[in-house]
Amino acid sequence: MKWKTDRGWDKVYWAIDIHDMILKGNYSKELELSYYPDCLGTLRMLSKDKENVLILYSSTWRKQINKVWAELGKEGILFNYINENPEVKNTEICEFSKKFYFNILVDDKVGFDPKEDWRKIYEYYKDSDKNIPEEGK
């Protein structure tokens, strides 16, 4: 990511919504683990790259978030935080106590289409010079 290098950043912070991004929303109190195609492979690849910090970004109740966290962990997908980024502290010009810092937001509210965009991210990383193992290898 050219903008990361240009700004001298050593990490990329991803805020990723759960429902209608990772899981297909069923709008029920019961958690249904129905993942979007290409989502798990892409998240697995992102979580293996130590330059990425993955943040589950959701208004879901904590009990369900914890279940999703655990299930993703079983899939080899490791999120760093839930609804926070303690790595980026307040500065003289920015205050992050109410709105945590992220570089990339994966949410339907910003136009992310999970049916197509997970594959695009996967292809971007697979074709990069990061030597991240391809899915299934």
The CATH number assigned to the domain holding 85 equals: 3.40.50.1000
The whole domain housing 86 covers: 2-126
Residue 89 domain flag: yes
Please say whether the beta carbons of 44 and 31 come within 8 A.
Answer: no
Q: How confident is the model at residue 129 (pLDDT cuts 50, 70, 90)?
A: low
* pLDDT value at 122 more than 90: yes
What is the token pair recorded at 108? Answer: 């339907």
Radius of gyration in angstroms for the set of CA atoms belonging to the chain, rounded to a whole number: 15
Average pLDDT over residues 48-57: 95
Average pLDDT over residues 18-27: 89
Residue 17 domain flag: yes
Q: How confident is the model at residue 4 (pLDDT cuts 50, 70, 90)?
A: low
Residue 132 domain flag: no
Query: What's the confidence (pLDDT) of residue 136?
Result: 43
Task: Please count the structural domains in the chain.
Answer: 1
Average pLDDT over residues 7-25: 89
What is the separation of C-alpha 74 from the centre of its chain, rounded to a whole number of angstroms? 16
Residue 135 domain flag: no
Residue 31 domain flag: yes
Mean pLDDT across the chain, nearest whole number? Answer: 88
* pLDDT value at 134 more than 60: no
Q: How confident is the model at residue 1 (pLDDT cuts 50, 70, 90)?
A: low
* pLDDT value at 111 more than 70: yes
What type of residue is 98? K
Residue 134 domain flag: no
Query: What's the confidence (pLDDT) of residue 108?
Result: 93
Q: How far is it, in rounded angstroms, from Cα 118 to Cα 87?
A: 26
Least confident of 15-19, 101-105, 126-130: 126-130
Residue 136 domain flag: no
Place of tokens 């655990």: 70
Residue 42 domain flag: yes
